[in-house]
Amino acid sequence: MSRTKQADSEIHEDQLLNFLVNRLDEEVPLSLANNAEITAEDIYEVLVGACADGTSVSTLCASSHNGPAANTILYHLRTKFEPFRLERVASTLLRRNIVELLPEQVEVCADLHLRPYYGDEDDTETLYYSEAKRGTTAFHAYATLYARVKNKRYTLAVRRLEDGDTASSVLAEFFGVLDGLDTEVKAVYLDRGFYDSRCLTLLQAHNYAYVIPIIRWGETIQQELSKGWSRVIQHDLTGKLDGHSWTVEFPVYIDCTYLNGKYDERGVARHGYAADAPFIETPRDARYYYAKRFGIESSYRLSEQAIATTTTRDATVRLLYVVVSLLLQNAWRYPHYEYVATPRRGGRRLWW
């Protein structure tokens, strides 16, 4: 008789939602009054359901038979969660079970997500300010750390940003998360929001291989990206902190391609990458390896479909929705790997 463990052939939506509701209920117990008409499980069921359906809590409650009142759920969401504790618990939940899937060497990505804010200027205490984008300089902002494993994204940490936070301070926190993992970092892929002297100094101090698209700051790099063909140049940025200044030097790989009508344009497109990795030898290598991250970004766009809609200005509630959305993404991938994929030599076989 074969001893091969046969995985389940399918996983149902209610199983996935129950999986996540139970995890939230275990890790974030809510204290409700003895005479409360709902339970913590009811609150989490509505929260997870709204995120899974990409709808609002009010819409979900209105369409549910014998469901709890939307105002009751929203009241508890506003009053029962503390943002800093939520971030800590979220990171614990995100990494639970996922760390066992990480290989000995893992590629990681970090993103800054800026969601425009168009509300009253007086109510901006919990907002993050950056360069103008989509008609505003105020944002609900979040930073996320991902592990990329076999073209799948697993979120390891999430952090809400406020005014005064910097990309380098967030990156330092994320490096602390990586230091606590029993795995080696093969490479770090960052979006251009992390392209500055402090982040590059941090990367070099940790001796991490990295790739970051550059920003055309200064006349020198603008000239380099306006002429010539693919090549590698040395570049530097000057940083300042508490009256002290320093210069960080790094190679820039300039990859050139013909547009051939792409985006209705002709001519040469030049892409610059700050990169320092043993597996990157040519500009085309830099572009190829960084292109892997676009799968990560596509996955993030898909995750936007699994987040509850809201008009609230409450930063904690918004963070809660983001956390549950990321947990849904991890929860979708982990049960598929653990319970649906068939164990076999050489890796698990998935049915999709």
180 domain-assigned = yes
Q: What is the pLDDT of residues 150-182, one digit of tens each?
A: 777 888 999 888 888 899 999 999 999 999 888
- Distance from C-alpha of 93 to C-alpha of 294, rounded to nearest angstrom: 25
Residue 267 lies in a domain: yes
pLDDT digits (tens, 9 = 90+) for 249-286: 999 999 998 877 676 677 788 899 999 999 999 999 99
Asked whether residue 351 is assigned to any structural domain, the reply reads no
Return the higher-pLDDT residue of 137 and 346.
137
Residue 170: inside a domain: yes
Q: Do both 242 and 97 map to the same domain?
A: yes
Residue 260 belongs to some domain of the structure: yes
Q: Which of 39-48, 131-140, 218-227 has the lowest mean pLDDT?
A: 131-140
117, 322, 319, 51: which is closest to 59 by C-alpha?
Answer: 51
Instruction: Classify residue 2: in a domain, yes or no.
Output: no
**CATH number of the domain within which 152 lies:** 3.90.350.10
| 154/200 same-domain check | yes
Identify whether the C-beta of residue 112 lies closer than 8 Å to the C-beta of residue 192.
no
338 or 256, greater pLDDT:
256
Residues 173 and 151 in one domain: yes
What's the CA dihedral at 137, 54, 93, 198 to 10 degrees? -20
Q: Of 263 and 80, which is predicted with more confidence?
A: 80
DSSP helix/strand/coil, 147? strand
pTM of the predicted model, to two decimals? 0.82
By residue range, what is the domain housing residue 283? 85-305
Tell me the C-alpha distance between 282 and 305, whole Å.
Answer: 37
Residue 252 lies in a domain: yes
Residues 300 and 187 in one domain: yes
Is the domain of 195 the same as that of 161?
Answer: yes
What is the per-residue pLDDT for 277? 94
Same structural domain, 320 and 296? no
What are the tens digits of pLDDT across the range 85-121?
Answer: 888 888 888 888 788 878 889 999 998 888 888 877 6
Q: Are residues 276 and 231 in the same domain?
A: yes
Residue 18 is encoded by which pair of tokens?
């129950």
Check whether residue 287 and residue 157 sit in a common domain.
yes
User: Is there a single domain that holds both residue 148 and residue 295?
Assistant: yes
7 part of a folded domain: no
**236 three-class SS:** strand
Counting the structural domains of the chain, the total is 2
Same domain, yes or no: 239 and 328: no
Quote the mean pLDDT of the chain: 82
